Amino acid sequence: MRQGKVWLVGAGPGDPGLFTIKGKYLIEHADVVVYDRLVGAGILSMIPPAVQTINVGKNAGCHPVGQEEINQILLREAQQGKRVVRLKGGDPFIFGRGGEELELLAKHGVPFEVVPGISAAAAVPAYAGIPVTHREYCSSLHIITAHRKRGDDSLPDFETLVKLHGTLVFFMGVSSLPEICAGLIRAGMAEQTPAAVIENGTTARQRNIVSDLKRLPERAVQAGVQSPALILVGEVCGLSSQFSWAEFRPLHGCRVLVTRPRERVSSLAEKLSALGAEVVLLPSISTKLLLEGNEALSNAIKSLPGYRWVVFTSAAGAEGFFKGLRRFGIDSRNLPFLQFAAIGPATAKAVLQFGGILCDYLPEEYTGKALGEGLAKVCRPDEKLLIPRSKIGTDELLEPLRQAGLSFTDVPIYDTLSEPLPNIPVTPQDIFAFTSASTVRGVTERLSKEQYQGMTALCIGEQTAREAQEHGMKTIQAEKATIDSMIEALLKTYQKEERN
């Protein structure tokens, strides 16, 4: 049996874009991931379905799994020869109890590594427009925890903190906010000192309440601030009104569940994140290329000189076709007699990526029906078409070709499989992003009706929207069947709702 090992990995403050490259690599190659409450859903959704996950979700005032038990879990899993990632919010060595978790491992000779994470002490103020150091206002930064051991009700040494004249950052202090502010004032800090409490920092749900030290507790109660939240005290908090930026992004406050296959999710997720949305990967389907033993594909490739057009309805179809060609020692140099058509620009991009070929035809409207109708007009009656596509492809492309009397071969080149969904809570405020009818079915097959009915679905086209509507979802439909058009439709709808 191989020797197990533990990686203590900081997940950062919540925004998946702040997760380290090394941390992402480790969760993708782990046998088991042990995580807690402060790890954001966007990061948890990066964990592959095959990786075992153990939720030890500690919450303020509620510890479903005690620290000693967590330590034992890490030891047990490592001693079974597993690659164990202990995923912790923020940085594991900054009030993350990382040192306590390593003690037992070191005692039993279990190998380990520590992967630092971006600490909330730096990232959360930055997302609220508060530079924790500034030459005009302070020359030091002090990080304090307001959460003590069980049975220890003592508060920080406020007199010492006031004398430091630096920026104070309090972790885990929401429940103690009145005592913290009162204690600093009693120790001599001016009541008018700028202060802030930042809830759900770096996420799409971030809220930033800035006040003076005296009135901050009252303002926090009025706003209903809850944990997790960071408390900042110091003159630099007054700069937030000038430098605040995260909450002004157009999709701030919007959480989108992206259901595309995991290998094709990046462009949509990146564009949504850049606009301030919180993106959670919820891949509901996967694609499996059907190259081994695919007699229909083999016959079609052997008969390529008899075809005039190759027609692609998806990036997966393009990938499968060109990989199939290479199995026969064929590349684009051998295909001067063929013309290529794609359903839209994303598929055309995949044809260029996998085959090095620029498409000859794209329809004006990016749907299967429009593609079929367009080809019926541009193809001569004697031209034969090869259509490598999904095993579960619909007839909307084929029917116009039949009506035009065109000869075609429909070759299933990949299968669309339903995927187990990550164990991430879905809330009524979330928005599903669907790029095909099959992604809708993948979700509805895995979730109960109560979990998806009445929710909002952002859909790439009419067929996808129709499928979502049949399952009781409210839909936002893109004008064109493209990722950019989906995002434009979401922006229009979301900003209109915000104004109302």
Q: Which residues form the catalytic set?
A: 36, 58
> Would the CA dihedral through 167, 168, 174, 178 be positive or negative?
negative
Residues 83 and 31: their CA atoms lie apart, in Å, by: 5
CA angle 129, 135, 139 (to 5 degrees): 95
Closest Cα to residue 53, out of 25, 27, 78, 72? Answer: 27
Closest Cα to residue 284, out of 442, 432, 434, 416? Answer: 442
Residues 419 and 204: their CA atoms lie apart, in Å, by: 27
DSSP per position, 159-182: HHHHHH-SEEEEES-GGGHHHHHH
DSSP per position, 190-233: -TT-EEEEEESTTSTT-EEEEEETTTHHHHHHHHT--SSEEEEE
Burial group, residue 258, by CB count within 10 angstroms (0-12, 13-18, 19+): buried
Q: Over the Cα atoms of the chain, what is R_g?
A: 28
Residues 152 and 398: their CA atoms lie apart, in Å, by: 73
For 493-496, the CB contacts below 8 A with 24+ separation are 494/250, 494/251, 494/254, 495/250
Residues 78 and 179: their CA atoms lie apart, in Å, by: 42
Rounded to 10 degrees, the C-alpha dihedral 343/349/352/353 comes to -130
Burial group, residue 192, by CB count within 10 angstroms (0-12, 13-18, 19+): exposed
**Residue 426 and residue 280 in contact, taking contact as beta carbons nearer than 8 Å:** no
Residues 259 and 283: their CA atoms lie apart, in Å, by: 4
Burial group, residue 108, by CB count within 10 angstroms (0-12, 13-18, 19+): exposed
Residues 441 and 467: their CA atoms lie apart, in Å, by: 8
CA angle 482, 485, 487 (to 5 degrees): 115
**Cβ-Cβ contacts under 8 Å for 69 (sequence gap 6 or more):** 56
Q: Where are the alpha helices (DSSP H) in 46-95?
A: 67-79
Q: Which two tokens stand for residue 382?
A: 């004697």
